[in-house]
Amino acid sequence: MVAGSSLGASSSSPKSCQPYHVFLSFRGSDTRKNFTDHLYQALTWAGIRTYRDNDEIERGDDIVLAINKAIAESRLSLIVFSPNFASSSYCLDEVVKIMECKENNVHTVVPIFYNVSPSQVSEESGTYVKALRRHGNVERVDKWWQALKKITDLGGMVCSCFRHEAGFIQEIVKKVDRRLKRIKRPVPSYVIGIESHIEAINKWVAYESSDVDVAIISGVGGVGKTIIANIVFNMNIETFDVWSFLQDVDETSKQQDGLVNLQRSLVYDISKGALVDYKGIDLEHVTCNKRALVVLDNVDTWGQLLGILSKPQYLHKGSKIIITTRCKELLKKPYGGACKTFWINGLGKDHALELFSWHAFDKPNPDEGYVGYSEQVVQHCSGLPLALELLGLCLSDKDMQLWEVAAQEPETIDGSTRIRRTLQISYDSLDERDKILFLYIACFYIGREKDSVVKMLQSKFGYRPLGIQELISRSLISIGGSNRLTMHQLIRDMGREIVLLRSIQSIEDPGEQSRLWRYNDAIRVLKRDTVRNISSIAFSDSFGSQ
């Protein structure tokens, strides 16, 4: 399910010179603002061009003709049967037209039963028959009734068979994909607060260029870069001649012959399987006169990029390359034509609470009695979608006692430690000097003025000023107002946990730690004279001054 979306919310479907994949028939007053809107968005972000009419109340001849044309040109129709569907003559006329198309050509029909059962639609004692009789016109009623019986004979999908509406919508999308035999990248059940990013990147993709343009989607780990790339890929592949999506380049490149295998995959995709093996083949010949959409997901270094596609100009003019990376300064050197960077921030407070609530409560807001706890957990996540999703799932259907623990220490319920492992990838990519620099900042210098921190670390430890820039490039720190160092709360916690885990004893005995940033730990160590490995201690008074 895709909730909280503004994309595709206009009164008609996006204009396109290509036929629609799907015609969506529904009763507006029943489902327009909830189920159908979520279904439409899920189909759209899966790259399925869907016709949805929002002007059901006042229809003229032109609208009816346009709808009939859309049905005839679509490959598949989804009919959302809901309690008041049969009270609309327009909806019933659409059913008749859909069945005519099915009988006359290869048009596919998938019935969806939302808050009604198939028997209510097709049996003479059902609620639909009573609604049909109220229309009065015997000839039209009989035609509608015959069409309804034929459709229910096809089977269909029943919402009540699924525990969560989101799961139901995802199954519909999967079924449509199977029927259409389409290539699709996965999109999660709940996608919140990224509509503006999708829209901006889609505009960049649509811009006609005489060169091979490159876009960087950058942000901290877990912020949703790959999800955005998947959606953009789904929505745009059919406007290109060829395409390729190379997933998790950083991880694959570390395997034996990793970069060679990635390059082979690129050649295979671009040649549409004609060239199975890559033996120094010039991509320029493979992509002759073919516009390509290429996505390189999770690229970490300049060397990885060159190892896969050393010259973007090997692709045909008008091609687009999208790169997702934690390193915002990946392209320090010229690469391709115009380069555009899209920086992905964490979610705002309202969107963060909505995403968390969908995973924890299967609805856009918390249950009564859980609002305060939810807000505390959400605040800890600082807008990071991965953390909101995992903590929401961990707390779903759990008792109040666990919620109380989570509100105070949310990190303790992430049993899989997936959040920390995802964030730590950026840390692990640093050299040893920059790792130490990061740990010092995480423990002591968040909120301090950057230049004074650089000067102090240089004089005491000989750290290079470029180290700060490297941490910024890796999205581990940022520079806030008044030139002060800022850090995502979860990244800070990850850094401090690294310090603790470097010595198992340090969890019980702070004297074993290399850095002490908690007042009580520092006092305990100094009173007991148990200083052994400590290189730095920070004290804060009641006003927070260090």
Give the 3-state secondary structure of residue 530: coil
Residue for token digits 């620099």?
437
Choose, from 58, 73, 94, 139, the residue flagged as catalytic.
Answer: 94
Distances in Å between the alpha carbon of 543 and those of 253, 331, 452?
49, 43, 20
| Residue 429 phi, psi dihedral angles, 5° rounding | -80, -10
Instruction: Compute the distance between CA of residue 446 and CA of residue 430 in angstroms, rounded to an integer.
Output: 19
Residue 337 tokens read as 């034509």
Contact 90, 113 (CB under 8 A): no
Distances in Å between the alpha carbon of 418 and those of 385, 394, 500?
13, 12, 18
- Give the H or E element holding residue 341: strand 339-343
* Cross-sheet strand order for the sheet of 76-81: 50-52, 22-26, 76-81, 108-113, 157-158
| CB atoms near residue 479 (< 10 Å) | 13
Q: What is the CA radius of gyration of the chain?
A: 28
- Quick one: 259 exposed, middle or buried, by C-beta within 10 A (0-12, 13-18, 19+)? middle
Q: Is-catalytic flag, 94?
A: yes
Greatest Cα pair distance, the chain, in angstroms, is 96
Give me the active site residues, please: 94
